[in-house]
Amino acid sequence: MFGRIILSLLLATAHPSAQVPARVLDLSGRAINPLIVEPGSVATVLVFTTTDCPISNRYAPEIQRLESRFGQQVRFVLVFPVAADSTAVIRNHLKKFAYSSEAVRDTAQELVKHTGVTISPEVAVLNAKSQLVYRGRIDDRYLELGRDRPHPTTRDLERALEAVVAGKPVSVRETQAVGCILADLVK
């Protein structure tokens, strides 16, 4: 927890160009930096996911709904941090789940390290200054592995985006995500 707090402080004070993740690639193999919020956007949402996590896959409709609602002001980027998720596998996954979001491969886990995520799905929201303002679950549908509810009672990502879009501080900056552990991190 202490390490995450320090990481949050470092991200909040760093200039966006100072932390370029050189090995983050789009699906065409070009290096990109999704930590920098694009002009015209007020935020970027990094959605850390894998192709084989059933909990992540169940969140596809929710991510699409949020992108439909906030997409004019917020950039959504699906981050695939597991080396086993090849470009071809990711492209098939995007098609299967009807994603229109931008997707990147983070096989060196630079974005994982920058944000401190450990779970799929887990999100990180960066404001217009590329400061980390929220990290954690999408909502509280999953209480723990194997235990969920039919509908969420708290939509954490949506609340964070509402605050950012309104120019207000995010009231809950971190929540605990429930999902698949990013296995490549456990070494």
What confidence tens digit (pLDDT) does each residue in 39-77 have? Answer: 889 999 999 999 999 999 999 999 999 999 998 999 999
Number of structural domains the chain divides into: 1
Picking from 50, 65, 136, the residue whose alpha carbon sits closest to that of residue 98 is 65
What confidence tens digit (pLDDT) does each residue in 3-26 have? Answer: 343 334 334 444 343 354 557 999
CATH number of the domain enclosing 20 = 3.40.30.10
Beta bridge partners of 45: 76, 125
Q: Which domain holds residue 119?
A: 2-185
Classify residue 30 by burial, with Cβ atoms within 10 Å: 0-12, 13-18, 19+: exposed
pTM: 0.86
What confidence tens digit (pLDDT) does each residue in 134-148 have? Answer: 999 999 999 888 888
